[in-house]
Amino acid sequence: MMTPVVDLKEIAPGIVQVTMQDKEHKNTFTEALMVELINAFETIRNTPHLKVVIVTGYDNYFASGGTQESLLDIYEGKVSFADINLYSLAQDCPIPVISAMQGHGIGGGFVFGMFADFIILGKESFYTTNFMKYGFTPGMGATYVLPQKLGISLAQEMLLTANSYRGADLEKRGIPFPVLPRNEVLSHARQLAGDLADKPRHSLVTLKEHLVSVAREQLPAIIKKEVAMHDKTFHHPEVKERIIALFGK
C-alpha cells in the first residue's frame, strides 16, 4: 500500500491536524495530494464534534504549488486550476482553520495557506507568489486573498515581482500575523487551537460563517477573472519555456 501523503489525526478533543507529507514531491500539488486534502476536509466537515483544524507541512516545506505536469497541462489547455477547488478548502471549512506554515510556501501552496482563518509563518522559510516568474498571471484566488490578508501594497509587490520573501522579511514589513522560528510554529498553532476548542462548536461555526461570508460571495467572480487572465497569458511559447527551464533548476 502507498503511504498516505496527507495525515489526518485528532491530536486533542475537538482539534484535528492535517499534515501534508509528500516528501518525494516536496508537497507540490500532485493529484494524490490534492485528492487526499479534499478528502480530509470532507471528513472534517462530516465529523460533528470537531472544533478547529490545523494544517501544516513537514520539515522545511509547507506547500509548493503546482507540479510541472499540471502547469504544462494548463498551458496546453487541457485543464484549468479552477477545475479542482483546492484553493478555498480552508475558507469553506465550517470550523476555524489554522495554517501552521512552518516551511516554505510557494505559489499556489502559499495561497492555499493564506485562505485559513489564522496564519503562522516561519522566520527562516521562504514565501512567494511566483506565478509571474513563469510568465503567467496569478490564480487560485491569489489576487483576492493576498490583498485581504497582507494589504494592497505588499500584495501587489509580491504578485507583480514574483520575488521570494523570508518570513522574517515579511515580519519587518508589518504583516498582521505571527512569525516564529520554524520549530515553534506548530506548538503555537496547537496552543491557539486549544484556545479555540474551549468555545462552543455552534458558536465557532456561526461566527466563522459570518466573518467569511463576504469572501465566499466574492471569490467565485475573482476566480472567473483569474481564469480569463490565464486564457490571455498562459498559452504563449515563452511560458512553456519558462516552466521547463525553472523546474529544471
Q: Which residues are catalytic?
A: 230
What is the Cα–Cα distance from 191 to 153, expressed in whole angstroms?
31
Tell me the β-bridge partners of 97: 53
CB distance 54 to 194 below 8 Å: no
Neighbours of 210 (CB within 10 A): 9
For 9-74, the DSSP string reads EEEETTEEEEEE--GGGTT---HHHHHHHHHHHHHHHT-TT--EEEEE-BTTEEE----HHHHHHH
> Could you tell me how many helices (H) and strands (E) the chain has, helices first?
11, 10
Determine contact, residues 130/107, Cβ cutoff 8 Å.
yes
